[in-house]
A and B are shown apart, each in its own frame.
Chain A
Amino acid sequence: MGRSDAHIEDDAGAVSQKSAQDHTDRLSARWRDNHAKRTVEIEAELLKDRPGATCDERTLLHLAAHDAALCDRLAEAELQVSERLVALVDNATVSGALAKGLQRTIACREACARRLRDLLQAAAVLRGQHKLATVTPIKRVA
């Protein structure tokens, strides 16, 4: 018994969906590779100023580098969306979608930037603690 047209269409749809998924996965993997490279670059720059960083400090700086790389990417996306929004601000059909996308991107970038600031601040405090512990002897009384 031959297969119906509907089954054949379903198979074709599944194949195209699979290839689209593969394409998305490849893009995602490439993006993650680029992100990892950028993170390593930023981390190397951050560690250049902090020789002899402790394990915890290195963890914080790694996360800060990761967040800085993510901020870069979001800033690029934000720039592109805002350029389109400026060009199409009179077009009511697309400007709403663009504004919403821009708002989401900005919110995410701000969250990322705030996290980055907290992590760098914590790294500075950790360094201060380490310095205090190594330099100052505790003077015991009685």
Chain B
Amino acid sequence: MAGTVRFGAVAISFRPGQVRLADVLAQVGVVDELTVRLVDLNGESREVHLRMTEKWSATSWRPALECPQCQAPAAVLRVQGEQVLCARCRPAHTAHHLNKNCRTWRDEGAIADRLVRSVLLGKGISSNSRLARQLEVRSLARIELVGEQALHLVRTIDRAGFINP
């Protein structure tokens, strides 16, 4: 960064698998180099060394994180293998985009995803418990129905005597 040279800052990213500029600025302010400790999507903690750069934004230069691969400024870096990369180097889709046409998504997968994100980002205990209750009730009802239908089919076949002992 122009003017100041500050090293050795350590920040923590609580968003699993990503580093956000807003979190870094809130914790350590504007620095040249920093170490970020984060939890990846498997729950393992990691440590990454990043540089900060500047980006022209409308009327002034604003701080931004530097992508280790393309050196371009970015507001969010995501874990990819051993590195954290920007959206240009590692295009990311949301879970909704990836799964919206899957059966698993319709079968309470969307609610489970909302619950997981709400828990990991600390959205609040009331919304978590509401989503958990919703997930439990709906999945129980669906699986009771599907299981009952399958067992009814089995009983019908057994009663009709299709299978000879």
The answer to whether B28 and A122 have CB atoms under 8 Å apart is no
Known: A119-B112, A121-B41, A141-B31. A73 touches B154 (CB 8 A): no
Query: Is A63 part of the binding interface, using a Cβ–Cβ cutoff of 8 Å?
Result: yes
A98 to chain B, nearest CB (A): 7
Tell me, yes or no, whether B116 is within 8 Å of chain A by CB.
Answer: yes
Count the B residues whose beta carbon is within 8 Å of the partner chain — how many?
A: 55
Q: Is B60 an interface residue (CB 8 A)?
A: no
Nearest A residue (CB) for B14? A129
A4 CB–B CB distance under 8 Å: no
Chain B residues with CB under 8 Å of A56's CB are 119, 125, 128
Please give, as numbers and ranges, the residues of chain A lying within 8 Å of B115 by CB-CB distance.
60, 63
* Docked pose: A69 CA to B78 CA in angstroms: 34
Q: Give A117-141 as 1s and 0s: 1 = Cβ < 8 Å from B's Cβ atoms.
A: 0110110111111011100101111
Contact pattern, B 41-63, Cβ under 8 Å of A = 1, otherwise 0: 11111000000000000000000
Which residue of B41, B104, B151 contacts A110 across the interface (Cβ within 8 Å)? B104
Given A84-B157, A125-B39, 18 new contacts (CB under 8 A): A35-B140, A59-B119, A59-B132, A63-B136, A66-B140, A78-B150, A80-B154, A81-B153, A84-B153, A84-B158, A104-B150, A111-B103, A115-B104, A119-B116, A128-B44, A128-B45, A138-B27, A140-B28
Query: Which A residues are within 8 Å of any B CB, using their own CB?
Result: 28, 31-32, 35, 55-56, 59-60, 62-63, 66-67, 70, 73-74, 77-78, 80-81, 84, 87-88, 91, 94, 97-98, 101-102, 104-105, 107-108, 110-112, 114-115, 118-119, 121-122, 124-129, 131-133, 136, 138-142
